[in-house]
Amino acid sequence: DTVLTQSPALAVSPGERVTISCRASESVSTGMHWYQQKPGQQPKLLIYGASNLESGVPARFSGSGSGTDFTLTIDPVEADDTATYFCQQSWNDPTFGGGTKLELK
Partner 1 sequence: EVQLVESGGGLVQPGASLKLSCVASGFTFSDYWMSWVRQTPGKTMEWIGDIKYDGSYTNYAPSLKNRFTISRDNAKSTLYLQMSNVRSEDTATYYCTRGYGSYDYWGQGVMVTVSS
Name the residues that contact partner 1, by CB under 8 A.
31, 33, 35, 41-45, 48-49, 54, 84, 86, 88, 90, 93-96, 98-99
- In whole angstroms, the minimum distance from the beta carbon of 41 to partner 1 comes to 8
Of residues 3 and 76, the one with the C-beta less far from partner 1: 3
Alpha carbon 98 to its chain centroid, in Å, reads 11
For partner 1, the closer of residues 70 and 86 by Cβ is 86
Please give the Cα distance from 32 to 47 (Å, whole number). 8
**CB-based burial of residue 103 (10 Å sphere; 0-12 exposed, 13-18 middle, 19+ buried)?**
exposed
- Backbone φ/ψ region at 79: left (φ over 0), alpha (ψ -120 to 50), beta: alpha
Contact call for residues 91 and 2 (beta carbons, < 8 A): yes
Q: Which is nearer to partner 1, 18 or 34 (CB)?
A: 34
Residue 67, strand partner residues: none
| Cβ closest to partner 1, residue 65 vs residue 99 | 99
| Closest separation in Å from C-beta 84 to partner 1 | 7
Q: CB 24 → partner 1: shortest distance, Å? A: 15
